[in-house]
Amino acid sequence: MKKIFTLVFASIFSVSVNAQVAPDFTITDINDNTLQLYTALNQGNIVVVKFFTTWCSICNNTAPQVQNLWEGYESSGQDILLWGINRDNNESEQQVINYSNSHGITYPEAAMGGSVAALYGVTYQPDYRIICPDRSYHTTTNWNQVDSKVQACQALLSANDLKNQSAQIKLFPNPAQREAYLNFSLKENSEISIALYNQLGQEVKTYKKGLLESGEQTLSLDLAGISAGVYSVVVNKNDSRIATRKLVIE
């Protein structure tokens, strides 16, 4: 069993080392929210970018399946974001708004994304980039292959969790209402800070706890006044992220 795990881990590590590094980008979606790739990745999210145009027949025909895929990720509380980026700069924002409304799309979509598409060498649509938190990424032109690429990112995350032992950090209750708790153990005195992010990657609240002594810790997170939804709780130790946990607030 140990030999099998070693082979699997080596394979995952090899893929990560040899993979292309995703270029960073910032774009504003049709609801005036800022989508910033590296910020989202630093929070431990997997980011699925769908490059599309409103005149693409395949984009239109598969829009319901992609929306269903997103709803599945969102309802399960996984650290996965889906962003749609229109690569045709000749299309107006209103055309993208109409496209989004006609297909009932609830994930963020942005217009005028030709420069972002160029960063990734996208010349056709639909084209998907599945970007892992370590900034490596996978490519596919088929929506039904997106989930397998997401799972490859998750396998990499699992390997990293085993390496840095962040899996020992527990968040409860989940779902939560007015308060949640983080439980973990420190091997040495460490500077700890915690931040809460929404699904757009925007920081909602920061919990600065300061220097904590070694040993077991249970920290409370005040959720009063925060809207219901799915959030990411990011734990930083000495200014380095050690874990991300998804939290559902009711």
| CATH number of the domain encompassing residue 113 | 3.40.30.10
Same domain, 76 and 125: yes
CA-CA distance, 29 to 165, in Å (whole number)? 36
Q: What is the pLDDT of residue 192?
A: 87
Same domain, 86 and 57: yes
Same domain, 146 and 50: yes
Residue 9's alpha-carbon distances to 15, 130, 191, in angstroms, are 10, 20, 30
207: containing domain: 165-249
**In the chain, how many domains are there?**
2
Q: What is the pLDDT of residue 2?
A: 35
In order, the DSSP letters of the chain are: -HHHHHHHHHHHHHHHHHSPBPPP-EEE-TTS-EEEHHHHHHTT-EEEEEEE-TT-HHHHHHHHHHHHHHHHHHHHT-SEEEEEEE--TTS-HHHHHHHHHHTT--S-EES--HHHHHHTT--SSSEEEEE-TTSBEEEES-GGGHHHHHHHHHHHHHHHHHHHTGGG-EEESSSBSSEEEEEEEESS-EEEEEEEE-TTS-EEEEEEEEEE-SEEEEEEEE-TTPPSEEEEEEEEETTEEEEEEEEEE-
Pairing mode of beta strands 26-28, 34-36? antiparallel
Same domain, 51 and 118: yes
Out of 130, 163, 196, a domain closes at: 163
Same domain, 109 and 232: no
| Strand order through the sheet with 179-186 | 170-172, 179-186, 215-222
Out of 120, 138, 163, a domain closes at: 163
Residue burial 165-192, b: 16+ Cβ < 10 Å; e: rest: ebeebebeeeebeeebebebeeeeebeb
Same domain, 42 and 119: yes
Out of 109, 138, 163, a domain closes at: 163
Q: What is the pLDDT of residue 75?
A: 81
Q: What is the pLDDT of residue 160?
A: 57
CA-CA distance, 81 to 137, in Å (whole number)? 14
Same domain, 154 and 203: no
Instruction: Walk along the chain (250 residues) and give the pLDDT tens digit of each residue.
Output: 333 333 333 333 333 334 589 999 999 999 999 999 998 888 888 999 999 999 999 999 999 999 999 999 888 777 899 999 999 999 999 999 999 999 999 999 999 999 999 999 999 999 999 999 889 999 999 999 999 999 998 887 765 554 444 547 888 998 999 999 988 888 888 888 899 988 777 889 998 778 888 888 888 999 999 999 888 888 888 877 777 888 899 9
